[in-house]
Amino acid sequence: AQSVAQPEDQVNVAEGNPLTVKCTYSVSGNPYLFWYVQYPNRGLQFLLKYITGDNLVKGSYGFEAEFNKSQTSFHLKKPSALVSDSALYFCAVGGSSASKIIFGSGTRLSIRP
Amino acid sequence: DAGVIQSPRHEVTEMGQEVTLRCKPISGHNSLFWYRQTMMRGLELLIYFNNNVPIDDSGMPEDRFSAKMPNASFSTLKIQPSEPRDSAVYFCASSPGGGRKGELFFGEGSRLTVL
């Protein structure tokens, strides 16, 4: 069975500072890993994904994520946070076929001016 | 291009009534997912289809829930009879195959309130 954990319900960062949102996963075989963002009263939007290759994946809005196989982690990062980055962020995992996509519990990111 | 279209956006109904939620996926996408989002349980996968065929419905809560995809451009999620604990936002998402496999495009959701 596949699963994904986001250990932090909320992350608070000052604007301009780097941010990290944590995610760990469990899946059989090679994982497909994803980050999505949700703004209030909206559906989720795709940010980035890792399938294979370079462990550092770049995505939309300046976000990137680092895949670490030994730690089974896929943390979301951004070098300099913006107030507009404030939203709910979800990590997701799919098995080797990427057919069944399971989401974590979400982390609320709050960027203060 | 239009995104994933869900209807209704909001529905308020009374316990025991039948509820039907509708979804039109993005044209050309070959996978469709139904998720439910609540504060308590987060985002739960209910069922997903590949090429209109249900692949995994293990997340469907109970027999009161059913989902169909009669063709590539339409899917329904039905709850009969509805209960207050079914109150949630229900999302439909579609996904292309090929190199973008696994990337989900979500609709705006259907907010269901069962009184």
Per-residue pLDDT of chain A (113 residues; tens, 9 = 90+): 789 999 999 999 999 999 999 999 998 888 899 999 999 989 999 999 998 888 999 999 999 999 999 999 999 999 999 999 999 999 999 876 667 899 999 999 999 99
Residues contacting A17, CB < 8 A, separation 6+: A80, A81
The reply to whether residue A102 touches residue B45, judged by beta carbons under 8 angstroms, is yes
Q: Outline where DSSP puts E strands in B1-115.
A: 5-7, 10-13, 19-24, 31-38, 42-50, 53-56, 65-71, 74-79, 88-95, 105-106, 110-114
**Closest approach of chain B CAs to the CA of A94, in angstroms?**
7
How many other CB atoms sit within 10 Å of the CB of residue A23?
26
pLDDT of residue B101: 81
Task: Report, as an integer, the average pLDDT of B82-90.
Answer: 97
State yes or no: pLDDT of B37 exceeds 90. yes
Amino acid of residue B8: P
How many other CB atoms sit within 10 Å of the CB of residue A11?
18
The reply to whether residue A44 touches residue B55, judged by beta carbons under 8 angstroms, is no
How many other CB atoms sit within 10 Å of the CB of residue A18?
10
Task: Report, as an integer, the average pLDDT of B3-12.
Answer: 97
**Closest approach of chain B CAs to the CA of A43, in angstroms?**
5
The reply to whether residue B4 touches residue A43, judged by beta carbons under 8 angstroms, is yes
Nearest CA in chain A to B105: A45
